[in-house]
Amino acid sequence: MSDKVFDELHFARPHPVGSNGRPIRKDEIELTDRGLYVESWMPERRSRRRPLLFIHGELAGSWIWERYLSYFASRGWEGHALNLRNHHWSETTDIANVDFEAYVDDVAGVIERIGHNLVAVGHGMGGLLALKAAERHSVGAIVLLDSELPRDLRSPVRPHELREIPDVYGRDHIGWETLPERLQRDNRDLTIADIVRLQHLFGQKPHESGLAKREIREGIAIDRALLAGTPMLVVGAGLDGTSSAAGAERLADWLGGTYEPFGAHSHYGLVIGESSFQQVADGIRAFLESHRL
Protein backbone atom coordinates (compact mmCIF):
# COMPACT_ATOMS: atom_id res chain seq x y z
CA MET A 1 0.00 0.00 0.00
CA SER A 2 1.18 3.54 -0.78
CA ASP A 3 2.46 5.73 2.03
CA LYS A 4 1.07 8.90 0.47
CA VAL A 5 -1.42 10.60 2.76
CA PHE A 6 -4.68 11.34 1.03
CA ASP A 7 -8.07 9.69 1.04
CA GLU A 8 -8.47 8.39 -2.49
CA LEU A 9 -5.74 7.44 -4.89
CA HIS A 10 -6.30 6.74 -8.58
CA PHE A 11 -3.37 5.71 -10.74
CA ALA A 12 -3.86 5.21 -14.46
CA ARG A 13 -1.78 2.24 -15.56
CA PRO A 14 -0.89 0.91 -19.00
CA HIS A 15 -3.86 -0.51 -20.89
CA PRO A 16 -3.73 -4.32 -20.71
CA VAL A 17 -5.99 -6.53 -22.79
CA GLY A 18 -9.00 -8.24 -21.19
CA SER A 19 -10.11 -11.84 -21.52
CA ASN A 20 -11.96 -11.15 -24.77
CA GLY A 21 -9.26 -8.98 -26.29
CA ARG A 22 -10.71 -5.58 -25.42
CA PRO A 23 -8.45 -3.00 -23.72
CA ILE A 24 -8.93 -2.35 -20.02
CA ARG A 25 -7.18 -0.14 -17.49
CA LYS A 26 -6.25 -0.72 -13.88
CA ASP A 27 -6.82 1.80 -11.11
CA GLU A 28 -6.73 1.65 -7.35
CA ILE A 29 -8.61 3.33 -4.54
CA GLU A 30 -7.10 3.82 -1.11
CA LEU A 31 -9.33 4.69 1.83
CA THR A 32 -6.60 5.90 4.15
CA ASP A 33 -8.94 6.69 7.01
CA ARG A 34 -9.86 3.01 7.10
CA GLY A 35 -6.54 1.56 5.93
CA LEU A 36 -8.25 -0.19 3.04
CA TYR A 37 -6.96 -0.81 -0.48
CA VAL A 38 -9.31 -1.52 -3.37
CA GLU A 39 -8.05 -2.89 -6.68
CA SER A 40 -10.08 -1.58 -9.62
CA TRP A 41 -10.22 -2.80 -13.22
CA MET A 42 -12.06 -0.51 -15.60
CA PRO A 43 -13.30 -0.79 -19.19
CA GLU A 44 -11.45 1.50 -21.55
CA ARG A 45 -14.71 3.31 -22.23
CA ARG A 46 -17.25 4.07 -19.53
CA SER A 47 -20.64 2.42 -19.80
CA ARG A 48 -23.99 2.54 -18.04
CA ARG A 49 -23.48 -0.85 -16.43
CA ARG A 50 -23.55 -1.07 -12.64
CA PRO A 51 -20.16 -1.18 -10.87
CA LEU A 52 -19.26 -4.55 -9.38
CA LEU A 53 -17.84 -4.80 -5.85
CA PHE A 54 -16.01 -8.10 -5.26
CA ILE A 55 -15.74 -9.23 -1.62
CA HIS A 56 -13.30 -12.03 -0.82
CA GLY A 57 -13.55 -14.72 1.83
CA GLU A 58 -11.22 -15.94 4.56
CA LEU A 59 -7.45 -15.63 4.01
CA ALA A 60 -7.95 -14.22 0.51
CA GLY A 61 -7.70 -10.77 -1.05
CA SER A 62 -8.33 -8.87 -4.25
CA TRP A 63 -5.96 -11.27 -6.02
CA ILE A 64 -8.58 -14.02 -5.98
CA TRP A 65 -10.79 -11.95 -8.31
CA GLU A 66 -8.26 -11.20 -11.06
CA ARG A 67 -9.91 -13.41 -13.68
CA TYR A 68 -13.33 -11.94 -12.88
CA LEU A 69 -11.96 -8.39 -12.97
CA SER A 70 -10.50 -8.97 -16.43
CA TYR A 71 -13.60 -10.79 -17.69
CA PHE A 72 -16.08 -8.11 -16.66
CA ALA A 73 -13.94 -5.05 -17.40
CA SER A 74 -13.43 -6.24 -20.97
CA ARG A 75 -17.22 -6.51 -21.29
CA GLY A 76 -18.07 -3.05 -20.00
CA TRP A 77 -18.33 -3.46 -16.21
CA GLU A 78 -16.02 -1.64 -13.83
CA GLY A 79 -14.91 -3.97 -11.06
CA HIS A 80 -13.62 -3.09 -7.59
CA ALA A 81 -12.02 -5.81 -5.46
CA LEU A 82 -11.81 -4.94 -1.78
CA ASN A 83 -9.05 -6.12 0.52
CA LEU A 84 -10.47 -6.44 4.03
CA ARG A 85 -8.32 -5.09 6.84
CA ASN A 86 -5.17 -7.15 7.42
CA HIS A 87 -5.52 -8.79 3.99
CA HIS A 88 -3.20 -8.43 1.01
CA TRP A 89 -2.47 -4.71 0.44
CA SER A 90 -4.71 -3.28 3.14
CA GLU A 91 -3.12 -2.18 6.41
CA THR A 92 -2.23 -4.72 9.05
CA THR A 93 -3.96 -4.73 12.39
CA ASP A 94 -4.34 -6.86 15.51
CA ILE A 95 -6.43 -9.47 13.72
CA ALA A 96 -7.18 -11.44 16.88
CA ASN A 97 -9.47 -8.59 17.97
CA VAL A 98 -11.22 -8.12 14.62
CA ASP A 99 -14.82 -9.34 14.71
CA PHE A 100 -17.29 -9.94 11.89
CA GLU A 101 -18.86 -6.51 12.33
CA ALA A 102 -15.48 -4.88 11.69
CA TYR A 103 -15.34 -6.62 8.31
CA VAL A 104 -18.89 -5.42 7.62
CA ASP A 105 -17.66 -1.88 8.34
CA ASP A 106 -14.95 -2.36 5.71
CA VAL A 107 -17.47 -3.41 3.07
CA ALA A 108 -19.91 -0.64 4.02
CA GLY A 109 -17.14 1.94 3.77
CA VAL A 110 -16.32 0.90 0.21
CA ILE A 111 -20.02 0.92 -0.76
CA GLU A 112 -20.21 4.50 0.56
CA ARG A 113 -17.21 5.40 -1.58
CA ILE A 114 -18.31 3.73 -4.83
CA GLY A 115 -22.07 4.30 -4.58
CA HIS A 116 -25.16 2.30 -3.66
CA ASN A 117 -26.10 1.36 -7.21
CA LEU A 118 -23.34 -1.28 -7.34
CA VAL A 119 -23.67 -5.07 -7.48
CA ALA A 120 -22.09 -6.81 -4.48
CA VAL A 121 -20.40 -10.12 -5.36
CA GLY A 122 -19.24 -12.19 -2.37
CA HIS A 123 -17.39 -15.50 -2.09
CA GLY A 124 -17.57 -17.67 1.04
CA MET A 125 -17.39 -15.37 4.04
CA GLY A 126 -17.61 -12.49 1.56
CA GLY A 127 -21.14 -13.56 0.66
CA LEU A 128 -22.30 -13.18 4.23
CA LEU A 129 -20.50 -9.82 4.42
CA ALA A 130 -22.32 -8.68 1.28
CA LEU A 131 -25.70 -9.55 2.79
CA LYS A 132 -24.94 -7.83 6.08
CA ALA A 133 -23.55 -4.69 4.44
CA ALA A 134 -26.60 -4.53 2.15
CA GLU A 135 -28.78 -4.25 5.25
CA ARG A 136 -27.12 -0.88 5.91
CA HIS A 137 -26.80 0.35 2.33
CA SER A 138 -29.23 -0.85 -0.30
CA VAL A 139 -27.42 -2.12 -3.39
CA GLY A 140 -28.42 -2.81 -6.99
CA ALA A 141 -28.07 -6.58 -6.71
CA ILE A 142 -26.24 -9.30 -4.78
CA VAL A 143 -24.35 -12.34 -6.14
CA LEU A 144 -23.35 -15.04 -3.64
CA LEU A 145 -20.73 -17.63 -4.58
CA ASP A 146 -20.69 -20.66 -2.26
CA SER A 147 -21.59 -18.28 0.54
CA GLU A 148 -21.45 -18.93 4.24
CA LEU A 149 -24.96 -19.37 5.59
CA PRO A 150 -26.83 -16.97 7.89
CA ARG A 151 -28.02 -17.97 11.35
CA ASP A 152 -31.49 -19.12 10.27
CA LEU A 153 -30.01 -21.79 7.98
CA ARG A 154 -27.20 -23.08 10.19
CA SER A 155 -27.22 -26.11 12.44
CA PRO A 156 -26.42 -25.44 16.12
CA VAL A 157 -22.68 -25.33 16.73
CA ARG A 158 -21.09 -27.41 19.48
CA PRO A 159 -18.89 -25.67 22.08
CA HIS A 160 -15.85 -27.83 21.31
CA GLU A 161 -16.07 -26.81 17.62
CA LEU A 162 -15.72 -23.17 18.62
CA ARG A 163 -12.83 -23.92 20.96
CA GLU A 164 -10.96 -25.58 18.11
CA ILE A 165 -10.83 -22.30 16.18
CA PRO A 166 -7.63 -20.41 17.14
CA ASP A 167 -7.64 -16.67 17.70
CA VAL A 168 -5.61 -16.26 14.50
CA TYR A 169 -5.43 -18.94 11.84
CA GLY A 170 -3.87 -19.61 8.47
CA ARG A 171 -4.02 -22.01 5.54
CA ASP A 172 -3.27 -25.05 7.70
CA HIS A 173 -6.57 -24.55 9.55
CA ILE A 174 -8.56 -24.76 6.29
CA GLY A 175 -6.66 -27.82 5.05
CA TRP A 176 -4.39 -26.12 2.55
CA GLU A 177 -1.04 -26.89 4.20
CA THR A 178 -0.40 -30.09 2.24
CA LEU A 179 0.85 -31.34 -1.11
CA PRO A 180 -0.73 -29.72 -4.20
CA GLU A 181 -1.41 -33.15 -5.68
CA ARG A 182 -3.45 -34.12 -2.63
CA LEU A 183 -5.44 -30.88 -2.80
CA GLN A 184 -6.17 -31.43 -6.47
CA ARG A 185 -7.92 -34.71 -5.67
CA ASP A 186 -10.57 -32.69 -3.80
CA ASN A 187 -10.48 -29.73 -6.18
CA ARG A 188 -10.49 -31.40 -9.58
CA ASP A 189 -11.42 -28.22 -11.43
CA LEU A 190 -8.18 -26.55 -10.32
CA THR A 191 -4.86 -27.00 -12.07
CA ILE A 192 -1.70 -27.57 -10.06
CA ALA A 193 -0.71 -24.02 -10.98
CA ASP A 194 -4.01 -22.73 -9.53
CA ILE A 195 -3.41 -24.63 -6.29
CA VAL A 196 0.20 -23.53 -5.89
CA ARG A 197 -0.87 -19.93 -6.44
CA LEU A 198 -3.63 -20.24 -3.85
CA GLN A 199 -1.25 -21.73 -1.31
CA HIS A 200 1.28 -18.97 -1.92
CA LEU A 201 -1.22 -16.12 -1.66
CA PHE A 202 -2.95 -17.57 1.39
CA GLY A 203 0.41 -16.88 3.00
CA GLN A 204 2.60 -18.91 5.32
CA LYS A 205 1.75 -16.98 8.47
CA PRO A 206 -1.68 -17.04 10.17
CA HIS A 207 -3.53 -13.80 9.49
CA GLU A 208 -7.26 -14.51 9.63
CA SER A 209 -9.60 -13.68 12.51
CA GLY A 210 -10.69 -16.63 14.60
CA LEU A 211 -13.15 -14.35 16.40
CA ALA A 212 -14.98 -13.59 13.14
CA LYS A 213 -14.99 -17.28 12.20
CA ARG A 214 -16.48 -18.26 15.56
CA GLU A 215 -19.21 -15.65 15.11
CA ILE A 216 -20.01 -17.04 11.67
CA ARG A 217 -20.20 -20.58 13.06
CA GLU A 218 -22.52 -19.42 15.85
CA GLY A 219 -24.65 -17.64 13.27
CA ILE A 220 -24.92 -14.14 11.81
CA ALA A 221 -28.49 -12.85 11.71
CA ILE A 222 -29.70 -11.46 8.38
CA ASP A 223 -32.89 -9.40 8.17
CA ARG A 224 -34.51 -10.47 4.89
CA ALA A 225 -37.01 -7.62 5.08
CA LEU A 226 -34.18 -5.12 4.58
CA LEU A 227 -33.13 -6.94 1.39
CA ALA A 228 -36.61 -7.29 -0.10
CA GLY A 229 -36.76 -6.41 -3.78
CA THR A 230 -32.99 -6.74 -4.32
CA PRO A 231 -32.19 -9.09 -7.24
CA MET A 232 -30.07 -11.99 -5.99
CA LEU A 233 -28.15 -14.83 -7.58
CA VAL A 234 -26.96 -17.70 -5.39
CA VAL A 235 -24.28 -19.96 -6.90
CA GLY A 236 -23.51 -23.36 -5.38
CA ALA A 237 -20.40 -25.50 -5.83
CA GLY A 238 -20.74 -29.26 -5.83
CA LEU A 239 -17.26 -30.73 -5.58
CA ASP A 240 -16.06 -30.05 -2.06
CA GLY A 241 -19.20 -30.89 -0.09
CA THR A 242 -18.92 -27.96 2.32
CA SER A 243 -21.96 -26.99 4.37
CA SER A 244 -22.23 -23.72 2.45
CA ALA A 245 -22.29 -25.59 -0.87
CA ALA A 246 -24.92 -28.03 0.35
CA GLY A 247 -27.03 -25.15 1.63
CA ALA A 248 -26.82 -22.92 -1.44
CA GLU A 249 -30.22 -23.95 -2.78
CA ARG A 250 -31.81 -23.43 0.66
CA LEU A 251 -30.16 -20.01 0.83
CA ALA A 252 -31.59 -19.04 -2.56
CA ASP A 253 -35.07 -20.15 -1.49
CA TRP A 254 -34.78 -18.34 1.84
CA LEU A 255 -33.70 -15.11 0.13
CA GLY A 256 -36.14 -15.45 -2.75
CA GLY A 257 -33.22 -15.38 -5.19
CA THR A 258 -32.17 -17.26 -8.31
CA TYR A 259 -30.24 -20.48 -7.72
CA GLU A 260 -27.57 -21.74 -10.12
CA PRO A 261 -25.61 -24.90 -9.25
CA PHE A 262 -22.19 -25.84 -10.61
CA GLY A 263 -21.80 -29.48 -9.65
CA ALA A 264 -18.36 -29.88 -11.22
CA HIS A 265 -16.86 -26.85 -9.47
CA SER A 266 -15.07 -26.54 -6.13
CA HIS A 267 -15.31 -23.65 -3.70
CA TYR A 268 -12.23 -21.94 -5.13
CA GLY A 269 -12.75 -23.23 -8.65
CA LEU A 270 -15.81 -20.97 -8.87
CA VAL A 271 -13.60 -17.89 -8.85
CA ILE A 272 -9.99 -18.79 -9.59
CA GLY A 273 -10.06 -21.98 -11.66
CA GLU A 274 -8.18 -21.44 -14.90
CA SER A 275 -10.59 -23.64 -16.84
CA SER A 276 -13.69 -23.39 -14.64
CA PHE A 277 -14.19 -19.75 -13.70
CA GLN A 278 -15.58 -18.64 -17.05
CA GLN A 279 -18.67 -20.85 -16.84
CA VAL A 280 -19.56 -19.14 -13.58
CA ALA A 281 -18.69 -15.68 -14.91
CA ASP A 282 -20.92 -16.35 -17.92
CA GLY A 283 -23.76 -17.26 -15.54
CA ILE A 284 -23.27 -14.07 -13.53
CA ARG A 285 -23.15 -12.03 -16.73
CA ALA A 286 -26.45 -13.55 -17.90
CA PHE A 287 -28.02 -12.67 -14.53
CA LEU A 288 -26.75 -9.08 -14.74
CA GLU A 289 -27.97 -8.65 -18.30
CA SER A 290 -31.38 -10.15 -17.50
CA HIS A 291 -31.84 -7.48 -14.81
CA ARG A 292 -30.26 -4.74 -16.95
CA LEU A 293 -27.52 -4.17 -14.40
106, 85 in Cβ contact below 8 A? yes
Domains and CATH numbers, the chain: 24-288 (3.40.50.1820)
Per-residue pLDDT of the chain (293 residues; tens, 9 = 90+): 333 332 333 333 334 655 565 768 999 999 999 999 999 999 988 788 999 999 999 999 999 999 999 999 999 999 999 999 998 888 888 999 999 999 999 999 999 999 989 999 999 999 999 999 999 999 999 999 999 999 999 999 999 999 999 999 999 999 999 999 999 998 999 999 999 999 999 998 899 999 999 999 999 999 999 999 999 999 999 876 554 557 999 999 999 999 999 989 999 999 999 989 999 999 999 999 999 99
Predicted local distance difference test score (pLDDT) of residue 51:
97
Q: pTM here?
A: 0.91
In DSSP notation, 10-54 reads -------B-TTS-BEEEEEEEETTTTEEEEEEEESS--SSPPEEE
Contacts of residue 73, Cβ cutoff 8 Å, sequence gap at least 6:
18, 24, 41, 42, 43, 79
- In the Cβ-directed half-sphere of 193, how many Cα atoms lie within 13 Å? 3
